[in-house]
Amino acid sequence: MKVDGGCHCGRVRFEAEVDPAKVLICHCTDCQTLSGAAFRTVVRVPVNAFNLLSGEPKKYVKQAESGNRMVQALCGDCGSPVYGSHLDRPTYFGIRVATLRQRDALPPKLQIWCRSANP
């Protein structure tokens, strides 16, 4: 499925080819803190299926509970989270579904890190 989206202010814009079956909800405490919500909805896409159209996201690197170093890409102007990826082996981007114009057509299929989920 072809999708497009971007940050709130429009500086960072992108398009991607996504598989609707790969939409997930992450309940990890990092996603909760970084999104300011109880969970984050993500669709994973191979790096080669993502095309940055404008802007250059600011990148923040964090260490996950797994020990992996993860890049958090966000707009340097409005702060909208755009995607995440592994720092050392970026094979996919986890696009933040809320940034997509087609978000209503991408219901989650899987939930992960449920042990951290809010009741």
CA dist 31 to 2, 35, 54, 70, 112, Å? 25, 6, 25, 12, 11
Task: Quote the domain boundaries for residue 87.
Answer: 2-114
What is the structure's pLDDT at 19?
Answer: 96
**Among 65, 56, 59, residue whose Cα is nearest residue 84:** 59
What CATH number is attached to the domain comprising 12?
Answer: 2.170.150.70
pTM of the predicted structure, to 2 decimals: 0.90
58 is a domain residue = yes
Q: Is residue 94 part of a domain?
A: yes
**Structural domains in the chain (count):** 1
Residue 89 placed within a domain:
yes
Strand, helix or coil for residue 100: strand
Residue 106 lies in a domain: yes
Residue 59 lies in a domain: yes
Does residue 26 fall inside a structural domain? yes
Write phi, then psi, for 24 (nearest 5 degrees): -140, 160
* Residue 119 confidence (pLDDT): 86
What is the chain's pLDDT, residue by residue, as a tens digit (119 residues)? Answer: 999 999 999 999 999 999 999 999 999 998 999 999 999 999 999 999 999 999 999 999 998 877 889 999 999 999 999 999 999 888 999 999 999 999 999 999 999 999 999 98
Q: Are strands 23-26 and 110-112 parallel, antiparallel or unpaired?
A: parallel
* Residue 97 located in a structural domain: yes
pLDDT of residue 26: 94
Q: Is 119 part of a structural domain of the chain?
A: no
